[in-house]
């Protein structure tokens, strides 16, 4: 089957499945489980009996599937399946009580009970996806970082992976570079974004200028890497330079340079690519923040005789400080995960390694899942302060 | 307040100039690649793309027509022709017939040939070789010319990368592969997230605040952590590497932002509408489908653009969950990275490939910019 057709079919199945789940589960709840009407004691008992049959049918099917898949009755997996099924039975038992109750039920009770269940119907697919694709991997990676792969399984090796990682110069090179990236890219992007936002604020073609500076946001990191590799291209001295940087450099009398192989400097040349992309993001957010500054504060400063620079640094910047922090942390997150640019432009050679690329190297080139997971945990550790800060802010805002 | 207006106009020119400078600086790299994708390999390799806008002076080596095309005119054997035949026209300034003296003659001059006879090359590239005896040999006379050729662009690169079925490096398959990854990966999370966001915004249940906090927390979890556990998981449940795996992965990774954006938007919808509908006997499901979804269109569009750009431009997730050793399902970003490795100096191929992959996101960007900006403003965690 052609992939495009397969894609179309999957969209229909996937989206249809999602919509179907929501429609069916709500229909089931409103029509059969908890319809908005009263039931006598006999009716309730009959409905409860029907529910109990389903209650035992679902876990038994699950147990059967589990044993068919693990094909070992007394293995660890088999045991886990039993525990899972047991928990499911217990849960469904409670649910059975909750839905059907005992004795006569009123319509009001049924409606309120249905409304207690519905949020979970709405949330279930999202919770499953988030749990399986984001929460579980954090713990699993944590566990893997203490193991190493042996033929046919894993063995626990304690902190060996971490000590091995710490002893590798490449890891420290990646750490050093990541710190450099963390310092330079958010600072430069935010500063450039702020400058552009301020400059374009009052001019007639400001929106067009902003749109053009914002455009690199739409370009993939890989595309940007190609664009900038052409900028940094070098030809032998006797030929015409086709890379802009070398053309300028040579016109000032320099020798053509392979910019991406010059240690230390090459990291900065890679950072330029990310700054080029992220400035637009910073500009958009900061521009909105600048527009939100109350006019009176600026007018008052003008009346008091403040110049444009004083107004910008003493009046405007302090007022949008919270937004600057948000922009800064968001770009910091992007920087911590930066992979594509380094992978496509230097692949970590010539001293440009960063953590994400180091991790990829370990996982898929060296096939060392233990050290790779340890490197991933280091990235997680670096992200954690921002995670805690964001959750705190979100909770404070909700109150 | 006259003096204030005066101060401003003093700076206006500086502001206009610096904004223009910044815009040019920001566009310059992209324009460079774009222009390069319309030049031939020779042109890219011999001159910077910024020179391609202007007539270029080039040194060319061209063979005149072979002796078997000569005709006899009276006593003379004559070969006539056009040096620019088969290439774009130009203007010859100087020329020569030896590689050691390529600028010995001006256009219109006549030179003595080593093997006897003369040759005249005119500014427009036409030439005339005359000899009293018959020209011998099988190959034509070499002529070294310095010519000014007008700017020249070609779409041949795009034709070979997109339309040539024999080109194994062509982008067509990768383009459709990317499209196949992108569309389900954009649509499915929207459906799932919309329901979850409504529950988190408008339904009362215990643990709601905790769930919202969890979503905010998951927003920043690096997807690098998920690679190995999920690859293992996909292998266990039997989907391995393939489209289904990458769709599921993108759905999982996109959900926190989707839920966060949509919930923030839905919370801001007027409470009256929802309560009135409830009083009129609508169930939550009806309220959601008939009222909330249509009203939330701007937020849905914002997220759709984000997710589209992110999945289209993604490299890592596709490499881990999709592209296998057969390369049948390779996506454009992966193919470009491979070309960077194998064809590092062939800019006509790289530039064209990169622009084919960038065309769709840039078009989406310019068409839907309003929603993108709105999404950014709502999505950055405050």
Please tell me the distance from the alpha carbon of residue A117 to that of residue B203, in angstroms, as a whole number: 11
Is the complex ipTM more than 0.90? no
Q: Is A344 on the interface with B (CB under 8 A)?
A: yes
Tell me the shortest Cα–Cα distance from B364 to chain A, in angstroms. 8
User: Is A394 inside a domain boundary?
Assistant: yes
pLDDT score, position B3? 44
- pLDDT-derived band at B382, boundaries 50, 70, 90: very low
Q: What is the token pair recorded at A112?
A: 């309120």
Same domain for A350 and A276, yes or no, is yes
Question: Right CATH number for B160-379 from 3.40.190.10, 1.10.3720.10, 1.10.10.10, 1.10.357.10?
Answer: 1.10.3720.10
Chain B: closest CA distance from residue A80 (Å): 15
pLDDT digits (tens, 9 = 90+) for B108-118: 778 777 777 78
With CA atoms as reference, report the closest residue to B381 among A390, A398, A399, A194.
A390
In this predicted structure, the answer to whether residue A2 has a pLDDT above a threshold of 70 is no
Tokens 């017939």 label which residue? B97
**pLDDT tens digit sequence for A193-232:** 988 888 888 788 888 888 888 888 888 888 898 888 888 8
Cβ-based contacts of A115 with chain B (< 8 Å) = 203, 284
| Number of neighbours of residue A301 by Cβ within 10 angstroms | 17
B8: pLDDT strictly greater than 70:
no
- Count of CB atoms situated within 10 Å of the CB of B362: 16
Task: Please report the pLDDT score of residue A76 as a whole number.
Answer: 64
Judge if A101 and A171 occupy the same domain. Answer: no
Structure tokens at A395: 């909770």
**Three-class secondary structure of residue A156 per DSSP:** strand
In chain A, what residues touch B340 (CB-CB under 8 Å)?
Answer: 225-226, 229, 344
**For B256, nearest residue in chain A (alpha carbons):** A130
Q: Which residues of B touch A216 (CB under 8 A)?
A: 26, 30
B175-222, pLDDT tens digit by residue?
A: 888 888 888 888 888 888 988 898 888 888 888 888 888 888 888 888
- Those residues whose C-beta lies under 8 Å from the C-beta of residue A143, and which sit 6 or more positions away, are none
Asked if A266 contacts A260 with a C-beta cutoff of 8 angstroms, the reply is yes
Q: Are B30 and A215 within 8 A, CB to CB?
A: yes
Contact across the interface for A10 and B373, Cβ inside 8 Å:
no
Query: What value does the mean pLDDT take over residues B312-324?
Result: 86
Q: Are residues A193 and A340 in the same domain?
A: yes
Q: Does A230 touch chain B (CB under 8 A)?
A: yes
Q: What pLDDT does B92 receive?
A: 79
**A169 CA: distance to closest CA in chain B (Å):** 21
Instruction: From chain A, pick out residues whose CB is under 8 angstroms from the CB of B284.
Output: 115, 118, 122
Q: What is the DSSP letter of B67?
A: G
- Which residue, among A78, A280, A271, has the nearest Cα to A180 in the 3D structure? A271
**Distance separating alpha carbons of residues B97 and B101, to the nearest angstrom:** 7
Cβ atoms of A288 and B377 closer than 8 Å: yes
- CA B349 – CA B334 distance, rounded (Å): 15
The answer to whether A185 and A271 have CB atoms below 8 angstroms apart is yes
Confirm if B84 and B72 have CB atoms less than 8 A apart.
no
Q: What's the average model confidence in pLDDT over B229-237?
A: 83
Beta-carbon separation of A226 and B45 below 8 A: no
Torsion sign (Cα): A323, A328, A331, A337 = negative
> Is A307 contained in some domain?
yes
CA angle A55, A61, A66 (to 5 degrees): 130
Checking if the pLDDT of A67 tops 70, the result is no
Token output for B160 = 């070979």
Which position has the token pair 């249809």? A16
Which pLDDT score, from 0 to 100, does residue B1 have?
Answer: 38
- State whether residue B2 is helix, strand or coil: helix
Evaluate the CA torsion angle B188, B190, B196, B198 in order and state its sign: negative
Give me the residues paired with residue B78 across strands.
B71, B130
Q: What percent of chain B has pLDDT over 90?
A: 1
A25-29: Cβ within 8 A, 24+ apart: A25/A121, A26/A118, A26/A121, A26/B283, A26/B285, A29/A114, A29/A117, A29/A118, A29/A121
Q: Say if A228 is an interface residue toward chain B (CB within 8 Å).
A: yes
d(CA A351, CA B361): 32
On whether residue A173 sits in a domain, the answer given is yes
Angular region, A305: left φ>0, alpha ψ -120 to 50, beta rest: left
CA–CA separation, A94 and A103 (whole Å): 16
Across the interface, whether the CB atoms of A394 and B47 are under 8 A apart is answered no
Cβ of residue B66 closer than 8 Å to a chain A Cβ: no
Backbone angle region of B170, left / alpha / beta, with phi > 0 → left and psi within -120 to 50 → alpha = beta
A387 with B221: CB under 8 angstroms?
A: yes
* A99 and A246 together in one domain: no
Query: Are A310 and A178 in the same domain?
Result: yes
Q: Which comes out higher in pLDDT, residue B309 or B141?
A: B309
Whether residues B48 and A222 touch (CB distance < 8 A) is answered with no
Question: pLDDT tier at B6 (50, 70, 90 boundaries)?
Answer: very low
Task: Give the list of residues 6+ apart from residue A297 with CB closer than 8 angstroms, or none.
Answer: A315, A319
Nearest-neighbour CA in chain A from B154: distance (Å): 18
Region A221-246 average pLDDT:
82
Work out the number of other CB atoms within 10 angstroms of the CB of residue B162: 16
Q: Do A199 and B18 touch (CB under 8 A)?
A: yes
For residues A171 and A358, the answer to whether their CB atoms sit within 8 Å is: yes
Chain B closest-CA separation from residue A117 CA (Å): 9
| One-letter-per-residue 3-state SS of B99-159 | CCECCCEECCCEEECCCCCEEEECCCCEEEEEECCCCCCCCCCEEEEEEEECCCCCCHHHH
pLDDT, greater one: A217 or B151: A217
Among B2, B6, B19, the strongest candidate for a mutation testing the A interface, having the largest count of A CBs within 10 A, is B19
pLDDT digits (tens, 9 = 90+) for A102-148: 777 777 777 777 778 888 888 888 888 888 888 888 888 888 888 87
Instruction: Say if residue B362's pLDDT is above 60.
Output: yes
Q: Is the pLDDT of residue A74 over 60?
A: no
Which has the closest alpha carbon to B260: B226, B314, B303?
B303
Q: What tokens appear for A215 in the block?
A: 């455009």
Q: How confident is the model at residue A70 (pLDDT cuts 50, 70, 90)?
A: low
C-alpha span between A336 and B29 (Å, rounded): 25
Whether residue A21 lies inside any domain: the answer is no
A332 closest CA partner among A269, A369, A282, A265 = A282
What is the C-alpha separation between A394 and B14, in angstroms, rounded? 41
Query: What pLDDT does residue B5 have?
Result: 47
Backbone angles phi, psi at B82, to 5 degrees: -125, 125
Q: Which of A220, A197, A178 is nearest to A333 (CA)?
A: A178
Q: Are residues A198 and A295 in the same domain?
A: yes
By DSSP bridging, strand B105-106 and strand B91-96 are: antiparallel
State the Cα–Cα distance between residues A376 and A356, nearest whole angstrom.
8
Query: Among residues 67-126 of chain B, which lie with CB inside 8 Å of chain A?
Result: none
**Average pLDDT in the A146-169 region?**
78
> What pLDDT score was predicted for residue A241?
76
**Window A:252-311, CB contacts with B under 8 Å:** 276, 279, 281, 284-285, 288, 302, 307-308
| A114 within some domain | no
Per-residue pLDDT for A265 more than 50?
Answer: yes
**Which of A145, A226, A384 should we substitute to test contact with B (largest number of B Cβ atoms within 10 Å)?**
A226
Check whether residue A101 and residue A180 sit in a common domain: no
Give the per-residue pLDDT at A37.
73
Nearest to A178 by CA among A391, A354, A56, A49: A354
Given an 8 Å threshold on Cβ–Cβ distance, is A10 in contact with B191?
A: no
Which residues 219-258 on chain B approach chain A with CB closer than 8 angstroms?
Answer: 219-230, 232-233, 243-244, 247-249, 251-253, 255-256
Give the structural domain span for A246.
163-398
- Cα A110 to chain centroid, rounded: 40
A28 occurs within a structural domain: no
CA pseudo-torsion sign B293, B297, B299, B302: positive
Q: What is the pLDDT of residue B88?
A: 67
DSSP state of B98: B
Cβ–Cβ < 8 Å for A237, A179: no
Examine residue A320 and state whether it is found in any structural domain, yes or no.
Answer: yes
d(CA B238, CA B240) in angstroms, rounded, equals 6
A85 and A228 inside one domain:
no
Mark whether A205 and A332 lie in a shared domain. Answer: yes
Please classify residue B355 by burial: count the beta carbons closer than 10 Å to its beta carbon, then call 0-12 exposed, 13-18 middle and 19+ buried: buried
- Average pLDDT over chain A reads 81
CA gap B158, B34 in Å, rounded: 12
Beta strand segments in chain A, E: 147-150, 153-156
* Mean pLDDT over each residue of chain B, to the nearest integer: 81
Q: Looking at residue A101, what is its pLDDT? A: 72
Most confident of A168-182, B42-56, B68-82, B120-134: A168-182
Closest partner residue to B180 (CB to CB) among A3, A126, A364 is A3
For chain B, the structural domain boundaries read 2-51, 56-149, 160-379
Count of CB atoms situated within 10 Å of the CB of A375: 30
Write out pLDDT tens, residues A305-329: 888 888 888 888 888 888 888 888 8
Residue A141 is assigned to a structural domain of this protein: no
User: What are the E-state strand segments in chain B?
Assistant: 56-63, 71-73, 76-82, 91-96, 105-106, 110-112, 118-121, 126-131, 142-149
Question: For chain A, what is the domain count?
Answer: 2
The values of phi and psi at residue B259, to 5°, are -65, -45
- DSSP bridge partners of B82: B126
Local confidence band at A399 (pLDDT 50, 70, 90 cut-offs): low
Mean predicted confidence (pLDDT) in A243-255: 79
């Amino acid at each position: 089957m052609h992939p495009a057709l397969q894609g179309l079919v999957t969209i229909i199945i996937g989206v249809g499945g999602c919509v179907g789940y929501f429609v069916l589960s709500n229909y089931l709840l409103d029509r059969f489980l908890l319809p908005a009407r009263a039931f006598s004691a006999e009716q309730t008992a009959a409905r409860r009996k029907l529910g109990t049959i389903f209650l035992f049918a679902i876990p038994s099917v699950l147990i059967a599937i589990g044993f068919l898949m693990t094909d070992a009755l007394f293995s660890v997996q088999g045991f886990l399946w039993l525990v899972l099924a047991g928990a499911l039975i217990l849960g469904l038992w409670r649910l059975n009580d909750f839905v059907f109750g005992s004795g006569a039920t009123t319509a009001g009770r049924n409606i309120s009970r249905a409304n207690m269940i519905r949020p979970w119907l709405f949330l279930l697919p999202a919770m499953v996806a988030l749990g399986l694709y984001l929460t579980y991997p954090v713990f699993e990676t944590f566990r893997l970082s203490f193991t190493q792969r042996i033929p046919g399984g894993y063995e626990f090796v304690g902190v060996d992976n971490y000590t091995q990682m710490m002893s590798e110069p490449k890891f420290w090179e990646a750490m050093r570079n990541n710190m450099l990236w963390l310092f330079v890219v958010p600072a430069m992007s935010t500063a450039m974004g702020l400058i552009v936002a301020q400059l374009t604020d009052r001019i007639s073609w400001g929106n067009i200028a902003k749109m053009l500076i914002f455009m690199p946001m739409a370009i993939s990191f890989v595309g940007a890497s190609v664009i900038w590799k052409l900028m940094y291209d070098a030809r032998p001295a006797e030929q015409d330079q086709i890379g802009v940087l070398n053309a300028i450099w040579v016109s000032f009398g320099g020798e053509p340079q392979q910019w991406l192989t010059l240690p230390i400097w090459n990291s900065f040349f890679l950072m330029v690519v990310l700054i080029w992309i992220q400035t637009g993001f910073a500009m958009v957010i900061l521009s909105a923040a600048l527009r939100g500054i109350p006019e009176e504060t600026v007018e008052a400063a003008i009346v008091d005789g403040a110049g444009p620079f004083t107004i910008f640094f003493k009046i405007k910047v302090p007022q949008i400080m919270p937004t600057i922090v948000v922009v800064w942390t968001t770009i910091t997150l992007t920087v911590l995960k930066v992979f594509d640019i380094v992978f496509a432009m230097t692949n970590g050679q010539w001293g440009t390694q960063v953590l994400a690329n180091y991790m990829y190297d370990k996982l898929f080139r060296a096939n060392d899942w233990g050290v790779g997971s340890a490197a991933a945990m280091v990235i997680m550790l670096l992200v954690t302060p921002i995670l805690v800060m964001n959750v705190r802010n979100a909770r404070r805002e909700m109150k | 307040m006259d003096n204030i207006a005066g101060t401003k106009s003093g700076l206006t020119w500086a502001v206009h100039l610096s904004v223009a400078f910044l815009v040019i600086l920001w566009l310059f790299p992209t324009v460079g690649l774009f222009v390069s994708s319309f030049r031939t390999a020779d042109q890219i390799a011999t001159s910077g793309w910024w020179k391609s806008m202007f007539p270029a002076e080039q040194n060319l080596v061209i063979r005149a027509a072979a002796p078997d095309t000569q005709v006899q005119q009276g006593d003379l054997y004559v070969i006539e022709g056009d040096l620019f035949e088969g290439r774009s026209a130009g203007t010859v300034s100087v020329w020569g017939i030896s590689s050691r003296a390529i600028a010995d003659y001006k256009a219109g001059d006549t030179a003595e040939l080593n093997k006897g006879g003369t040759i005249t090359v005119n500014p427009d590239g036409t030439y005339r070789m005359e000899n009293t005896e018959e020209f011998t040999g099988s190959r034509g006379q070499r002529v070294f010319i310095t010519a000014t050729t007008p700017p020249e662009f070609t779409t041949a690169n795009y034709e070979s990368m997109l339309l040539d079925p024999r080109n194994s490096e062509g982008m067509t398959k990768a383009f459709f592969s990317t499209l196949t990854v992108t569309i389900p990966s954009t649509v499915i999370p929207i459906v799932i997230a919309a329901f979850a966001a409504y529950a988190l915004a408008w339904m009362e249940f215990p643990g709601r605040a905790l769930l919202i906090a969890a979503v905010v927390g998951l927003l920043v979890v690096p997807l690098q952590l998920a690679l190995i556990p999920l690859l293992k998981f996909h292998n266990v449940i039997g989907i391995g590497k393939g489209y289904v795996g990458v769709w599921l992965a993108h759905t999982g990774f996109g959900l926190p932002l989707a839920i966060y954006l949509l919930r923030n938007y839905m919370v801001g919808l007027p409470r009256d509408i929802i309560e009135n509908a409830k009083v009129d006997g609508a169930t939550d499901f009806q309220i959601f489908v008939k009222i909330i979804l249509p009203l939330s269109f701007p937020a849905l569009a914002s997220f759709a653009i984000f997710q589209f750009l992110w999945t289209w431009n993604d490299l890592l997730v596709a490499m881990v969950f999709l592209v296998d050793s057969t390369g049948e399902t390779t996506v454009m970003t992966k193919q470009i990275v491979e070309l960077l490795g194998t064809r590092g100096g062939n800019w006509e191929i790289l530039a064209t490939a990169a622009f084919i992959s960038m065309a769709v996101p840039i078009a989406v960007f310019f068409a839907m910019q309003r929603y993108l900006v709105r999404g950014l403003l709502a999505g950055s965690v405050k």
